[in-house]
Amino acid sequence: MKDNILRLSKSCLGDEEKNAVQKVLDKEFLGMGAEVLKFEKLLTEFFSRPVVCVSNGTAALHIALQAAEIGDGDEVLVQSLTYIASFQAISATGATPVACDVDEGTLCINLSDAEKRLTNKTKAIMPVHFAGGVGALDEVYEFAQKYNLRVIEDAAHAFGTLHKERRVGSFGDIACFSFDGIKNITSGEGGCIVTNDEKVLKIARDARLLGVQNDTEKRFSGGRSWEFDVINQGWRYHMSDIMAAIGIEQLNRFPEFLKKRQNLAKLYDNFFIDTGIETLKQDYDSVVPHIYTLQLPVDIDRDYIRLKLDQLGIQTGVHYYPNHYLSLYKDKSNQRKIVDRLYKTILSIPMHPEITDRDAQFIFKCIRELIV
Ligand SMILES: *Cc1c(COP(=O)(O)O)cnc(C)c1O
């Protein structure tokens, strides 16, 4: 269905996905079976690493943390400027998310701020690949090595992004992706964990099926466990065949989505040069942008601009309201200088494969006219 509103983000679904879902419905088996097995295999080829598919990106982060033995009393360093999912996944394990500042040019985690927040309870760091860019990821791994931390990458925005010619997820400790409706590819809802760590893989595979040992293997061969043991807390976090069927088609179409997202970001970058409006410093031959975030001049009323753009049929967003402002996650040192300064200036504009060059031109022109 087309509408006249330029949406901030959207799912792009065609006959391929609809037919694939129809086939699953016709089989009258909707659980975790052949389609999930196939999607995992295709993703394993994509990442050159084992993959565990789950019900959403938050679930992926939650059981990745659990499998890395993060829990009660532990602390995890994470940037404040992220979707609430990163924080909730950490607190779901019983650990405490420690909100860190970001780097100005990338909006990824600021390591000098993170370093100040280290304690003897710090067990892990969760870098969030904001808008698809990875920030100082090599330095994150050096930092983690120095302080003996696990790294759980929140790569929900970064499906397909290359870092030094290597795909995010194909290297490092643990990476988690989201396939929710608006991410770079979707399976309706969905997510996955990518890692080489056998122990993490084993725990994650069981944990997605209520901790039932080896149930994944049974389900993938068309059966299910009737008598079994459970040694760890698990969750109802598996992916269904309906979701995987959508995901398989989306993965197939990903080269087309990638190109459109990268071209749109390059076009926007060109428009906004020398306008006083800052854009993220990314190389869009490597980064696959999930969102496109501007930093407006400080004297501009961002919310007024949003209202005006909305009236012109242009949807915008704010990524994100800082997590350290939330009642649940407030702490004594309630200050993150860069986030505190920037969050009132950030504005995300439409970014998805169906935004045409003309749409982009129109969006730019409207913003220009509002900010003179
Ligand atoms: C989307 C997202 C998630 C969570 O993924 P869901 O599939 O929505 O649960 C986690 N972190 C970030 C940064 C996200 O954008």
**pLDDT score for 133:** 98
Checking if the pLDDT of 92 tops 90, the result is yes
Mean pLDDT of 82-103: 98
Cross-strand partners of 212: 230
Three-class secondary structure of residue 353 per DSSP: coil
- Among protein residues, the one with the nearest Cα to ligand 1's atom 14 is 156
First to last CA, the chain: 35
pTM of the model: 0.97
- Give the model confidence (pLDDT) of 30-83 as tens digits: 999 999 999 999 999 999 999 999 999 999 999 999 999 999 999 999 999 999
**Neighbour tally for 296: CB within 10 Å:** 20
**What b/e string do you get for 60-94 counting C-beta neighbours within 10 Å, with b at 16 or more?**
bbbbbbbbbebeeebbbbbbbbbbebbbbbbebbe
**Mean pLDDT of the chain, nearest integer:** 96
CB 199 within 8 A of CB 67: yes
Give CA–CA dist 241/220, Å, rounded: 11
DSSP 3-state percent helix, strand, coil across the chain (nearest 5)? 40, 15, 45
Helix boundaries (H) for 9-136:
15-27, 34-47, 57-67, 84-92, 111-116
- Give the model confidence (pLDDT) of 96-153 as tens digits: 999 999 999 999 999 999 999 999 999 999 999 999 999 999 999 999 999 999 999 9
Mean pLDDT of 214-220: 91
**Residue 203 CB-density burial (10 A; 0-12 exposed, 13-18 middle, 19+ buried):** buried
Of the pLDDT bands very low, low, confident and very high (cuts 50, 70, 90), residue 1 is: very low
Ligand 1 atom with minimal separation from the 180 CA: 7
- Give the model confidence (pLDDT) of 249-303 as tens digits: 999 999 999 999 999 999 999 999 999 999 999 999 999 999 999 999 999 999 9
Residues 6+ apart with CB under 8 A from 300: 345, 371
**pLDDT score for 4:** 85
Pocket of ligand 1 (CB under 6 A): 56-58, 82-83, 85-86, 128, 154, 156-157, 178, 180, 191
Pocket test of ligand 1: the residue of 8, 9, 58 to mutate, having most ligand atoms within 8 Å of its CB, is 58
Checking if the pLDDT of 2 tops 80, the result is no
**pLDDT score for 69:** 97
